[in-house]
Amino acid sequence: MINISNGFKELGLSDETLHAIHAKGFEKPTEIQKKIIPLILENKIDLIGQAQTGTGKTAAFALPIIQQLETRAGHIQAIVLVPTRELAIQVSEEFNSLRGHKSLHVAPIYGGQSYDIQLRHLKKGVDVIIGTPGRMIDHLNRKTMSIDKISFAVLDEADEMLSMGFLEDIEDILSKTNPNRRTLLFSATMPERISQLAKKYMGEREIIRTVKSGKTTDLTDQIYFELKESDRFNALCRIIDTTAEFYGLVFCRTRSDVDFIASKLLDRDYDAEGLHGDLSQTVREKILTRFRNKKINILIATDVAARGLDIDELTHVINYALPQDPEAYVHRIGRTGRAGKEGTAVTFITPEEHRKLMFIKNFTRTEIRKERIPHIKDVIDFKKEKISSELKEMIESGVSSNYVEFSKELLGNNDPEAVVAALIKHTYQNELEEESYVKIYDLFETKVSNEGGKSRMFLALGKRDDLNVKELLNMLQKKANISPDKVSGIQIFDAYSFFNVSQKESEIVLEKLNSRDRNKRPIVGRAKGR
Ligand code: AMP
């Protein structure tokens, strides 16, 4: 069997499970995995884990559960309750990739998917169900699913499920399970309602906490964009186009990606070159010299090719593709924000890569902010601004008389505005026209709001806290000085609410409504995009 002792073996995992971990590419266990896996494998008691997304908590419960399930049991052996359909899909994918060759049938069950597909799975026999509470209840009521012989019930992101109003459903589901099951509850926060739920439905239990990550502050501002795969290239152009003196390193995965991006940038007249492992030392040196001397301001590279590259003044490091592991991320972004200069690290992810990025964020213990991709209008405004300030500078420093003569000729009897407009068009072609730019489907904006440029906010107060529209507007006016006409899309539910404000105002709301006391839970946040 495999002979890697990378920290997983010591946790009591079998060779079969170790193989699956190896195939998945995990190199060493995370903190929560180290703490929880042995407990689930050895103990017979219940468990509460306080852990956020990105800590590796899914694998922490999935691995020991998979190892302990029987093949061909002929009944559902484990259920995992999750708050959203996205999570149901992701957790079931994680289970499937971690079960390796073990013959277990894992199926997600969530609202919005056709009953037919779910019934087909259920008829075939499922070992692990990952489900949202509502749809699970539907199946239990229709008697298309029974969960009275399970070994494990997992409540994942329990605090989130409670704030979405799933308490009754969860209680209903648990009451239909066998009492000798083991219950594992995971939650990022531990409000009183979670303790009550645990008291009611869990037996003897242990509580495991992971250390909260501390922020590191340095000169690198870390942001990420969530976009469609096909929009990566245009997003890169928008960043370059809206940076005054872009001088950056763009990381991608393969040599062919390097060639592809470099040649597309050249096609669009950017000063870019690609660097990859297959280049001769002479060519490599030539390219690096050109980059150092700023003859080119964009260098595309793979991790391997960028090894040993030591340049201090980079404005940007762009993760065009996510790095393989957190160490590579740290290594990549460490190339900007050096020598006392501020820099920005930008990471592109597709929605499927969200959890991977959260893992990196947790591991590196830094803050990576979600941002919106610059709009086409931002790019055009930026270019116009640049043109006018360059023109101003030229006028101030005096233009040679040759040009002044020619300009008099051009103006002649023409309308001066028309002449300048024609000159701009002649010089910049279609660069200042919106139609010349490819549209990007910004998942940040489309997800959080249906109104362009607005942020959808989540407030942890609802009807049961006596909140109504008027109260909400009053609160925003009083605490954040935001007038009611700036607020839209208000929805008030029992335990929480949503509303939209502009990007700028969303920052003010976050700052003013949340307590400065770090131990207090924030009451307002951006509505989750996942
Ligand atoms: P989670 O916290 O469960 O949402 O996991 C976040 C991401 O980290 C997922 O993409 C996992 O596949 C990944 N992950 C979990 N454990 C490890 C590990 N030990 N090494 C590397 N990646 C991991």
Q: Which residue has the higher pLDDT, 365 or 84?
A: 84
The per-residue pLDDT for 511 is 87
Question: Do 296 and 390 share a domain, yes or no?
Answer: no
**Ligand 1 centroid to residue 406 C-alpha, Å:** 66
Per-chain mean pLDDT for the chain: 87
The per-residue pLDDT for 398 is 87
Would you say the CB of residue 29 lies under 6 angstroms from ligand 1?
yes
Structural domain includes residue 181:
yes
Q: Which of 6, 355, 361, 363 to probe ligand 1 with, by most ligand atoms within 8 A of CB?
A: 355
Would you say the CB of residue 248 lies under 6 angstroms from ligand 1?
no
User: Which residue has its alpha carbon closest to ligand 1 atom 21?
Assistant: 26
User: Is the pLDDT confidence value at 444 over 80?
Assistant: no
Nearest to 178 by CA among 39, 75, 63: 75
Would you say the CB of residue 252 lies under 6 angstroms from ligand 1?
no
Question: Do 432 and 319 share a domain, yes or no?
Answer: no
User: Is the pLDDT confidence value at 16 over 90?
Assistant: yes
The per-residue pLDDT for 214 is 39
The per-residue pLDDT for 10 is 92
Structural domain includes residue 250:
yes
What tokens appear for 276 in the block? Answer: 């990859």
One-letter amino acid of 43: N
Q: What are phi and psi of 34, to 5 degrees?
A: -60, -40
Question: Do 187 and 93 share a domain, yes or no?
Answer: yes
- Proportion of the chain above pLDDT 90, given as a percent: 48
One-letter amino acid of 462: G
One-letter amino acid of 186: F
Q: What is the DSSP string of 180-246?
A: TSEEEEEESS--HHHHHHHHHH--SEEEEEPPPPPP---SEEEEEEE--GGGHHHHHHHHHHT-TT-
Question: Do 92 and 182 share a domain, yes or no?
Answer: yes
Query: Pick from 164, 183, 209: which residue ends a domain?
Result: 209
To 5 degrees, how large is the angle CA 169–CA 175–CA 181? 115
- Proportion of the chain above pLDDT 70, given as a percent: 94
**Any residues with CB less than 8 A from the CB of 233 and at least 6 apart, and which?**
261, 264
Rounded CA separation 490/469 (Å): 7
Question: Do 330 and 469 share a domain, yes or no?
Answer: no
Structural domain includes residue 140:
yes
The per-residue pLDDT for 285 is 87
Question: Do 459 and 402 share a domain, yes or no?
Answer: no
Q: Is 266 exposed, middle or buried (0-12, 13-18, 19+ CB in 10 A)?
A: middle
Question: Do 351 and 391 share a domain, yes or no?
Answer: no
**Ligand 1 centroid to residue 8 C-alpha, Å:** 14
Segment holding 93, helix H or strand E: helix 85-98
User: Is the pLDDT confidence value at 448 over 80?
Assistant: no
Q: What is the pTM of this model?
A: 0.60
What is the mean predicted confidence (pLDDT) over 248-275? 94
Segment holding 123, helix H or strand E: helix 115-124
Question: Do 14 and 160 share a domain, yes or no?
Answer: yes
Question: Do 240 and 366 share a domain, yes or no?
Answer: yes
Nearest to 431 by CA among 490, 374, 384: 384
Question: Do 41 and 18 share a domain, yes or no?
Answer: yes
Question: Do 125 and 78 share a domain, yes or no?
Answer: yes
The CATH number of the domain where 516 resides is what?
3.30.70.330
Q: Which residue has the higher pLDDT, 80 or 416?
A: 80
Rounded CA separation 444/451 (Å): 12
The per-residue pLDDT for 450 is 40
Structural domain includes residue 158:
yes
The CATH number of the domain where 309 resides is what?
3.40.50.300
Q: What are the tens digits of pLDDT across the range 308-339?
A: 777 878 899 999 999 988 888 888 888 887 66
Q: Are 486 and 501 in contact, with CB atoms under 8 Å apart?
A: yes
The per-residue pLDDT for 4 is 52
Would you say the CB of residue 356 lies under 6 angstroms from ligand 1?
yes
pLDDT-wise least confident of 41-55, 126-140, 178-192, 438-452: 438-452
What is the mean predicted confidence (pLDDT) over 299-305? 91
Q: What are the tens digits of pLDDT across the range 456-495?
A: 889 989 888 888 888 899 999 999 999 887 888 777 777 7
Structural domain includes residue 305:
yes
Question: Do 56 and 186 share a domain, yes or no?
Answer: yes
Structural domain includes residue 361:
yes
Q: What are phi and psi of 455, to 5 degrees?
A: -105, 135
The per-residue pLDDT for 447 is 47
Would you say the CB of residue 49 lies under 6 angstroms from ligand 1?
no
The confidence band for 215, taking pLDDT boundaries of 50, 70 and 90, is very low
Number of domains in the chain: 4
**Ligand 1 centroid to residue 358 C-alpha, Å:** 9
Rounded CA separation 275/279 (Å): 7
What is the mean predicted confidence (pLDDT) over 448-453? 47
To 5 degrees, how large is the angle CA 346–CA 352–CA 358? 55
User: Is the pLDDT confidence value at 445 over 70?
Assistant: no
Query: Pick from 334, 350, 373: which residue ends a domain?
Result: 373
Query: Pick from 350, 373, 396: which residue ends a domain?
Result: 373
Range of the domain at 172: 9-209
The confidence band for 175, taking pLDDT boundaries of 50, 70 and 90, is very high
**Ligand 1 centroid to residue 64 C-alpha, Å:** 15
